[in-house]
Structures are given as C-alpha cells and as structure tokens.
Structure 1
Amino acid sequence: MDTEPSAVRAAREIRVVFGRLRRRLRELARAEDLTPSQISVLTRLDKSGPAGASGLAAAERVRPQSMAATLAVLEQHALISRRPDPSDGRRQVVSLTAEGVARVQGDRLARQEWLARELDQGFTEEERETIVRAMGLLDRLNDR
C-alpha cells in the first residue's frame, strides 16, 4: 500500500509545527533551574501519580542510574519525596511534594495562558474553531 502524498505532507507539517510549538511552550515554563528530563519526570508524576524509580526510568526510557540522578536533583529542590514501598521495603515510592504540584500546575497555567492569549489576539473566531476541529481529528491518532 502506497502512502498518499497528502498524508506524507500532513505528517511532516504536524511534526514540524508540533515540535516548534512544544519548544515554545517549554520556554515559558520556569525551567531555568531544571532540565527537560527533570521537568518530564515532574509532569509524569503529576499525571500518573506516585511511582517507583525503576518504573519512572522505564517510562522515561533512561537508565536507572540516570533516573537516580534526576530524582536526587528534584529532591534537593524539594519537588519530590520518597518513602518506602509498602509492598517491598527495599524499593521507594516517589511522589510530588506540595511544592512540586504547585510548580507543575504553575508552569502548566503559564503555558495555557500564553497560548490562549496568542490565539485570542492572533486568530479570528473562525480560525480558532478550525484549530479546535483539527485537534479533534488529530486526537483520533491516539485512538488508533
């Protein structure tokens, strides 16, 4: 089965536009003191809840040693806490502290406010509705 040229062009455009938008949104986060991988771990903990270090390493596709270093920095910033796993005392469960939750939510709110302001000021109502419809179509990719 040959892929239609329009599908190839759409795939390329989606990748490029989403990549640029993602970089722009990352710039808006208060990330001056954290690396992208540290921010990713905070975001994962916020979305998925407490997790073990090995599970986080697997989910982030990094070596356990790299995850240990990431968690050490986050713990130094008081953004995470660790406690013994109730089912296996040799392991630890990592969770966000109140400060970690506030950090993730604050960064998320800053990005959302910027995006809403840009959409409000730079696009017509019709264009914003087109964007919403396009997002619905793109979301179907997640369902396949």
Structure 2
Amino acid sequence: MNDHAPDISRTAARAAGDVWVVFTRLRRRINALEEAKGLSSAQASVLMRLDKAGPASASDLASVERVRPQSMARTVAALEEAGLVERHPDPDDGRRQLIELTRTGRERRLDDRRAREAWLARSLQEHGTREQLEAVIAAMELLDAVAQS
C-alpha cells in the first residue's frame, strides 16, 4: 500500500504519478508548438476556450483562466490586433462587450489543432507498436471516465 493514502494501491498511485508527469510534459510540448506559431500559452488558451464555449466577456475569461483582468485585457488586445478575435456589444447587457473568434481566429484554431494532432499521431506512430497504441486508446477511455466523474 501507499504510505500517503493506505486505501490506494501502489499500482493506482504509480499510475496517477505517471499520468501527471506525462501530461505535464505533453502540455509543455504542445505549448511550445503554439509559441512557435507566435501565440503565447495564454493566447492559445483563450482561443481554445472561445472556440469551445463561444463568446465571453473579458472578465469571464479572466475568471475561468484564473488571471487578473488587466492580464486578460492585454491577452485579448494582442489577439484582437492579430485579427483573431473581435468585440461586440452583449445583447443582454449593453455595458459589456463579448469577445468572439473571427473567421481568421476559427481557421487558426482548426489549423493549430490539426498540426498538434498530426505531430502527436506521428510521434505515437514512430515510438509505439500497434499494441502500445491500442493500449493508449484504452488508457484514454479510462482517463476520460475519470475526468467526467
């Protein structure tokens, strides 16, 4: 058993530690791919969030990204300057503005996603056997169930 949590098996504790380390490395590598394309990790995160959840106010984005409103204002301004987002009045509250992806922003997100997935697929294919890739698929099913619990 594990010294820190006696009700957790050594196997589960090792799996949790391994997942944490690998996901951290993958996140760093993916962030580096984004930065190589001229986006900071904060900018890439905001684009991803807007792509998934739709338009949001700068204060809402700051809250979910856990940054100060001033930091989010700089991030949004840089994305706006690059033509990736635009602001529109909130139809429910004329005092607020909603930020949303432009057509260019949506295309950029799609291109970036395809590039990340292609990089990962090539890397998996180069480093793994068919059996290992099938094990990764099974492991992702388990991790997805954990993430949704």
TM bucket (normalised to shorter chain) is over 0.9
The answer as to whether partners of 1:82 and 1:93 remain within 8 angstroms in 2 is: yes
The answer as to whether partners of 1:29 and 1:108 remain within 8 angstroms in 2 is: no
Query: Could you tell me the TM-score, scaled by structure 2's length?
Result: 0.89
Is 1:75 equivalent to 2:86 in the alignment? no
Is 1:101 equivalent to 2:103 in the alignment? no
Is 1:57 equivalent to 2:62 in the alignment? yes
Unmatched runs of 5 consecutive residues or more in structure 1: none
Query: Could you tell me the TM-score, scaled by structure 1's length?
Result: 0.92
Alignment-derived partner of residue 22 in structure 1: 27
Deviation sequence 1:11-59 (CA, Å, 0-9, x none): 1111101111121222223644221111110110011111111111111
Give the deviation of 1:134 after TM superposition. 0.7
Secondary structure at 2:88 match in 1:
strand
Is 1:10 equivalent to 2:15 in the alignment? yes
Relative contact order, higher structure (CA 8 A, sep 6+):
1
Give the deviation of 1:7 after TM superposition. 2.2
Alignment-derived partner of residue 110 in structure 1: 115
Count of aligned pairs between the two proteins: 144
Give the deviation of 1:6 after TM superposition. 2.3
The answer as to whether partners of 2:89 and 2:98 remain within 8 angstroms in 1 is: yes
Is 1:143 equivalent to 2:141 in the alignment? no
Unmatched runs of 5 consecutive residues or more in structure 2: none
**Identity of paired residues, percent?**
51
Give the deviation of 1:70 after TM superposition. 1.0
The answer as to whether partners of 1:52 and 1:94 remain within 8 angstroms in 2 is: yes
Secondary structure at 2:99 match in 1:
strand
Deviation sequence 1:94-141 (CA, Å, 0-9, x none): 000011111111111001111111222322211111110011111121
Runs ≥4 in structure 1, deviation > 4 angstroms? none
